[in-house]
Chain A
Amino acid sequence: DIQLTQSPSFLSASVGDRVTITCRASQGISSNLAWYQQEPGKAPELLIYAASALQSGVPSRFSGSGSGTDFTLTISGLQPEDFATYYCQQLDMYPLTFGPGTKVDIK
């Protein structure tokens, strides 16, 4: 199975900050990675797919990059509604797997 790790697991930031979250795969997965945002008590929402493609309706302050084993999600100008947990997911092979999550909290 492909294992995903995320760093940091928790970060504290302020409104307006630029935030970067890293996801690393245990083997190369090309660009087969997605990112989700999950607010407490709600279902996850798709932000990015194919490592860097922005899902329709997602604000442009969210961006993704990377390929192979190392990927990043960047939020340029953190907004109050962005305080949530973020998960990466590999799309390369079954079983599909998620990273453990990164919680973004208010400083």
Chain B
Amino acid sequence: QVQLVESGGGVVQPGTSLRLACAASGFSLSGYPIHWVRQAPGKGLEWVAFQSYEGRNKFYADSVKGRFTISIDRSTFYLNMNNMRAEDTAVYYCAREPGGRRFFDYWGQGILVTVSS
């Protein structure tokens, strides 16, 4: 069955870096781009980034542009987060998009990232 499993979360200090991973299984990656969506504590959902499987298309939210990059290695998608800020504190989800539809039919369980000194 379709599975998305995030890992790599934790507590980091402002200005430092962290890499999240999303291991995907149970489906053909080429037809299903992966997005990252985050949710600050007690807040709503915020779309963060997207990469198509072949890497041709990448989009980022303005709030993370220039600091976060998305990459893929085989069946694992990564969110590389640099120069982290307190406002990046959130639960980060990876989510699957049925190709070209821009909605998310499967989500990972989420991973907490806390940026604090």
Interface residues of A (CB under 8 A from B): 1, 32, 34, 36, 38, 43-46, 49, 55, 87, 89, 91, 94-101
Contact = CB atoms under 8 A, between A and B. Distances in A.
Query: Do most interface residues of chain A lie in helix, strand or loop, or is the interface mixed?
Result: loop
Contact of B105 (A46, A87, A89, A97): A46
Nearest to A99: B44
Contact of A100 (B44, B59, B102, B105): B44
Query: Do most interface residues of chain B lie in helix, strand or loop, or is the interface mixed?
Result: loop
B99 to A, nearest CB: 13
Interface of B: 35, 44-47, 50, 59-62, 93, 101-105, 107-110
A55 B45 CA distance: 20
A97 B103 CA distance: 11
10 contacts: A1-B62, A34-B104, A44-B45, A55-B105, A87-B45, A89-B103, A95-B62, A98-B44, A100-B44, A101-B44
Nearest to A90: B102
Contacts of A32: 102
Contacts of B104: 34, 36, 44, 46, 89
Nearest to B49: A95
B83 to A, nearest CB: 20
Contact of A95 (B45, B61, B110): B61
A95 B59 contact: yes
